[in-house]
Structure 1
Amino acid sequence: MCWTSSSTPPPPSTEIDSILAVTHGFLAALNTKSRLEFEKHCIRAGAMSLSPPSPTPLRFCTIGSFIEYIATLQSDIQERIWDPEVKVQEGGNLAAVWASFRAKVNGVVNHVGVEIFILHKIQGEWKVTGLADSCRRPTEEEMGME
């Protein structure tokens, strides 16, 4: 699915595919806790705003500090997105991906919500430069999600 203005044609699918590959690569790095894989898909100086389930308050950090935190976790993390919507600046270097997500911690659905990836094209490659999420505890039905 792609967000576009009805008066402008959608960006080429290869551009959207490239953007989605970077977001999926970022999530794969999260799942493996690989600093090296994160480096391929993002800019450490980028910003994050994370909205954990209530009552934990909204948190802000750099992508780099998030990577360092994730790399130390012992828990198994599996996060995935679905139905991503992509918006690309026509002829530019800015894109956004809005997607529902679910995160499993040690095999149990821990939280669900929406993630927004901000990407910039830097030296011909898309990189995650920002990320925001809003999440909540899963319903009973969502606890059974794959």
Structure 2
Amino acid sequence: MTPARTLFHSALAVAFLACALPSPAAVASTPEEDAVLAPVHQLFNGMSAHDGSAIKASAIPGANMILMRDGKPHQMTIESFADRLSKPSPDGKDTPIEESIHDPLVRIDNDLAVVWAPFEFLSNGKVDHCGTDLFNLIRVDGKWLIASVADTGRKDCPAQ
């Protein structure tokens, strides 16, 4: 077989494999992964609704949050975060906010799980900051709850 023909067959095999193998985004999540992600989405929904009770319900009491901003950690409990977000703004108008993750990496071992995912945070419908979210979750009485959150918030987001 000539080198050109060998190269053609190799390229054809690579192209076939690229089409045949699912991309990470195409892999369906399992019901257990969906269950792990449920409190994360509950947290985000509570944030959007400025609902402190929903935020707190997504986590164990005293869950720790570490938000990295400009290389500095800002640490708080889930309760202080919920209280801060549920207070009305001085002008009486709550700024519409929305946080979303994409392509989450979920790992589960018995009653312990971790979620690592890129995120975007929108304020008034525009990207305010982005980064990576890291959630540690535990299963208590059959229900997944957030034990801690860390994120990297930065302003150099592609969608800005």
Runs of 4+ in 1 over 2 A off after TM superposition: none
1:86 matched to 2:86? The reply is no
The residue correspondences of 1:68-87 to structure 2 (distance < 5 A) are: 68-72=83-87, 73=89, 74-87=94-107
- Alignment partners' CA distance in 2, 1:103 and 1:17: 21
Query: Are 2:123 and 1:108 equivalent residues in the alignment?
Result: no
Length-normalised TM-score, structure 1? 0.80
What corresponds to 2:56 in structure 1?
A: 39
* Structure of higher CA gyration radius: 2
Matched, 1:65 2:65: no
Residue 105 of structure 2 aligns to which amino acid in structure 1? E
SS in 1 for 2:79: helix
- Gaps of at least 5 residues in structure 2 are 1-23
How far is 1:44 from its partner?
A: 3.2
Contact kept in structure 2, 1:109 and 1:138, CA below 8 Å? no
Distance 1:108 1:138 in 2: 13
1:1-146 to 2 correspondences below 5 Å: 13-52=30-69, 54=70, 57-72=72-87, 73=89, 74-89=94-109, 92-139=110-157, 141-143=158-160
Q: Aligned-pair distance for 1:25?
A: 1.4
Contact 1:25 1:41 in 2 (8 A): yes
RMSD of aligned C-alpha atoms? 1.8
Structure 1 stretches of 5 or more lacking a match?
Answer: 2-11
Read off the aligned partner of 1:133 and give its amino acid letter.
D
1:77 counterpart letter in structure 2: I
Among all aligned residue pairs of Structure 1 and Structure 2, give the percentage whose two residues are the same amino acid.
28
Determine the structure 2 residue equivalent to 1:8. none
- State the aligned residue count: 128
Tell me the residue number matched to 2:4: none
Deviations 1:70-97 (A, max 9, x none): 11253221111100000111xx211000
